[in-house]
Structure formats: C-alpha cells, structure tokens
C-alpha cells in the first residue's frame, strides 16, 4: 500500500486558556487538551470525513494538521516529509500543496477586497504566473467554482453566503493544492445552497484528484461525500475506517449513538435505537479512563479506571474501546 499523503501519529494539541479568575490573580489558566494522541491518515486522492459533536476538537485538529496552530506532541508527515520541523521557507512552500477552506464564508474573506483582488493576491504572493496572466487565471478559477465573471468586482458584503464560500474555495484552489482541509464549509449556508457547495467539492475532488479532509458534524454529508470516516470524541479518534463499513456496522458505542441519532437510517433493527445521553464533558476536565464512559451504555468497571486500549483492527475498521481488547499474544 502506498504511503498516505498526510499522516498524523500520536498527535496532540494542548493549550492554556485564560479564565476570569486567572486574569484577576485568583487562579490559573485552564489547561485544555484539545487533541489527544490522534492517529490519522489521508491517502492521495482520498476523501476522509472527520465527524463528532461540536467542541470535540475537529477544528483544532484540522488546523494542527496544516500547522496553522502548533501541535504540542506527536508526528506529522506530508508526502514523506516531517512537517513539524519545516523551516519558514519550507512551510511557505508547503502552503502551496495544502490549503484550508474555512467555516465562515464572510469572515474568512477580506471585506475590502473585490473577488478579483482576493484571488489575484494568491497568484502574486506565491508567484504562480506572470503578472500579465493573472487576470486570465482568475477568470478560469472563477469559472471552475461556478462564479460568474460579472462578480469579479464585488466585495464580500454584496455576495451571498454561497458565493463567498465559492470564493473561499477558489482561493484555496489557486495554488493547485494536493490536499484541502474543509472545516464545516456548508454549516453556515442555507440548506438550499449546501447541496450545491457539496456537489462542487465532489466534482473538484474527483476531477483534480484532490485529497480531502472534510470536517463536519453532519454524518449524512460525510457519508455521501467521503470514502473514509474518522469519528472524534473529546479530542480522540475513536473509530476510523471505510465509510460504508463504519455506517453499516459501527463498532464504537459513540459511533453507534451518533448513527442511531441520524434523522433517517436504512439499517432499521440492526442498531440499538439509543440516543446520546448528556453533553460531552469539558476538555478542561476529561474523565479518567475512557472519556466516553459517563455517557456510554456499555461502560464496564475497567472503562472508568484504565486508559483506552491502543487501536484495534476489527475487520476493515480501527476502533479504540475496551469492548475490543487486544488479543493476549498481541
């Protein structure tokens, strides 16, 4: 099997969060473990969905994978190169190969720049083509993402959310990346526009053989768009595998609960129809043992005390749960 384009091993992100008490000298800042011991691979030309409830660390992980925030531990490889130790100039070159599309289509664009100026800037900064060719390249790019050339003189405030997100996608595509990490790119859009943007991602991913990490809390979207899926809970990947295998037979109790809570399901009777009880705990006070144990219908005494076992391969799926212990001889 060929080496994945992006590979994270034991990746963690910790940061200190200022609290009111710490500001007035009555306490210390919170230590937040936003991402913990994550193993994740994105193959060349592969689409991987990253799902989990709001606040589980998906966005932090996505940004850490592109070194938009610094990981605090672990290994991060891109095309066989260590990303953690890249120099500033190598990091700049890496940004041509891996890009991010952000959740907020308005907030991610400079309100003072027109569409043409936003896209031209990328060509100039990265010196992607002669200045005389930039306008032509911008028009091609706009066409590729379904934006009329008539919009080139518009600023974000006079565009719809869907149009702004197409500009954000065009800006990411301008450098000709091999990998795109899209962080909830449709969640801020009207439902009627969401399908159009998802179709655009599907077309681009297929036509350009892009590697795509698609972050979403919407399992239905990920099931439709992604070949692989990673399920995240409180900063940890608890299940990872081919999308159909995970949806047809989820192993981890958290994945089972997420899928059981989906509005429509065509696996009637094959899953316990239990909802997900309670709210996820704060990443500042992660429960000991398995972090999911306070909400888990399958929790056993071992789950409250012992760390979650290493990844176990169950069929085509990797899962971390005491229900699937490693064999004694492993």
Q: Which stretch binds ligand SF4 (CB under 6 A): 97-105, 113-121, 210-218, 298-306?
A: 298-306
What is the three-state SS of the chain? CCCCCEEEEEEEEEEEECCHHHHCCCCCCEEEEEEEEEEEEECCCCEEEEECCCCCCHHHHHHHHCCCCCCCEEEEEECCEECCCCCHHHHHHHCCCEEEECCCCCCCCCCCCCHHHHHHHHHHHCCCCCHHHHHHHHHHHHHHCCCCHHHHHCCHHHCCHHHHHHHHHHHHHCCCCCEEEEECCCCCCCHHHHHHHHHHHHHHHHHCCCEEEEEECCHHHHHHHCCEEEEEECCEEEEEEEHHHHHHCCCCHHHHHHHHCCCCCCCCCCCCCCCCCCCCCCCCCCCCCCCCHHHCCCCCHHHHHCCCCCCEEECCEEECCCCCCCCCCC
In whole angstroms, how close is the CB of 238 to ligand SF4 at the nearest point? 7
CA–CA gap between residue 307 and residue 37 (Å, rounded): 12
Name which position in 123, 303, 311, 312 contacts ligand SF4 (CB under 6 A). 303
Q: How far is the CB of 325 from ligand SF4 (least distance, A)?
A: 10
List the end-to-end C-alpha distance of the chain, in Å, as a whole number: 22
292 contacts ligand SF4 (rule: CB under 6 A)? yes
Question: Does residue 321 interact with ligand SF4 by CB under 6 A?
Answer: yes
Stretch touching ligand SF4 by CB under 6 A, among 66-74, 175-183, 275-283, 293-301: 293-301
Rounded to whole angstroms, the Cα distance separating 46 from 92 reads: 24
In the complex with ligand SF4, which residue's Cβ is closer, 63 or 252?
252
Binding ligand SF4 (rule: CB under 6 A), the pick from 39, 171, 236, 322 is: 322
Is residue 290 within the footprint of ligand SF4 (CB under 6 A)? yes
Residue 163 CA to residue 226 CA, distance in Å, equals 23
Q: Which segment (99-107, 128-136, 201-209, 290-298) binds ligand SF4 by CB under 6 A?
A: 290-298
Task: Candidates 172, 174, 237, 296: give the one binding ligand SF4 (CB under 6 A).
Answer: 296
For position 318 contacting ligand SF4 by CB under 6 A, the verdict is no
CA atoms within a 13 Å half-sphere pointing along the CA-CB vector of 116? 12
Residues in the chain: 330
Give the nearer residue to ligand SF4 in terms of CB position, either 219 or 321. Answer: 321
Q: Taking CB under 6 A as the rule, does residue 167 contact ligand SF4?
A: no
Q: In angstroms, what is the minimal distance from the CB of 280 to ligand SF4?
A: 13
- In the bound complex, what is the minimum distance in angstroms from residue 298's beta carbon to ligand SF4? 4
Interaction pattern, residues 195-234, with ligand SF4; x per rule: CB under 6 A: ----------------------------------------
Nearer to ligand SF4, 171 or 252 (CB): 252
Query: Restricting to residues 249-268, which ones interact with ligand SF4 according to CB under 6 A?
Result: 252-253
- Out of 53, 117, 121, 298, the residue judged to bind ligand SF4 by CB under 6 A: 298
Exactly one of 5, 308, 312, 317 binds ligand SF4 (CB under 6 A); that residue is 308
| Binding status of residue 293 toward ligand SF4 by CB under 6 A | yes
Chain residues binding ligand SF4 by CB under 6 A are: 252-253, 290, 292-293, 296, 298-300, 303, 308, 321-323
């Amino acid at each position: 099997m060929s080496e994945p384009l992006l590979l994270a091993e034991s990746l963690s992100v910790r940061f200190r969060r200022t609290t009111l008490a710490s500001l007035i000298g009555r306490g210390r800042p919170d230590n937040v473990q936003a991402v913990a011991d994550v193993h994740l691979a994105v193959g060349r030309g592969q689409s991987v969905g990253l799902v989990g409830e709001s606040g589980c660390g998906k966005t932090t992980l996505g940004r850490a994978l592109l070194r938009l925030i610094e990981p605090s531990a672990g290994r991060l490889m891109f095309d066989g190169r260590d990303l953690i130790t890249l120099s500033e100039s190598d990091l700049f070159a890496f940004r041509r190969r891996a890009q991010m599309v952000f959740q907020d289509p308005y907030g991610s664009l400079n309100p003072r720049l027109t569409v043409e100026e936003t896209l031209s800037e990328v060509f100039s900064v990265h010196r992607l083509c002669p200045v005389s060719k930039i306008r032509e390249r911008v028009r091609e790019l706009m066409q590729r993402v379904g934006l009329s050339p008539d919009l080139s003189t518009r600023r974000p405030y006079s565009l719809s959310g869907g149009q702004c997100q197409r500009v954000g996608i065009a800006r990411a595509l301008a450098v000709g990346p091999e990998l795109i990490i899209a962080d909830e790119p449709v969640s801020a859009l009207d439902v009627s526009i969401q399908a159009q943007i998802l179709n655009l991602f599907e077309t681009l991913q297929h036509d350009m053989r892009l590697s795509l990490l698609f972050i979403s809390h919407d399992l239905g979207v990920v099931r439709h768009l992604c070949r692989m899926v990673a399920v995240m809970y409180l900063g940890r990947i608890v299940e990872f595998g081919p999308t159909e295998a995970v949806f047809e037979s989820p192993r981890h109790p958290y994945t089972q609960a997420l899928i059981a809570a989906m509005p429509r399901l065509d696996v009637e009777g094959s899953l316990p129809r239990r909802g997900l009880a309670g709210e996820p705990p704060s990443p500042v006070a992660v429960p000991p043992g398995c972090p999911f144990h306070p909400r888990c219908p399958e929790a056993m005494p071992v789950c409250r005390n012992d760390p979650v076992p290493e990844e176990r391969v169950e069929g085509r799926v990797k899962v971390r749960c005491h229900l699937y212990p490693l064999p004694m001889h492993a």
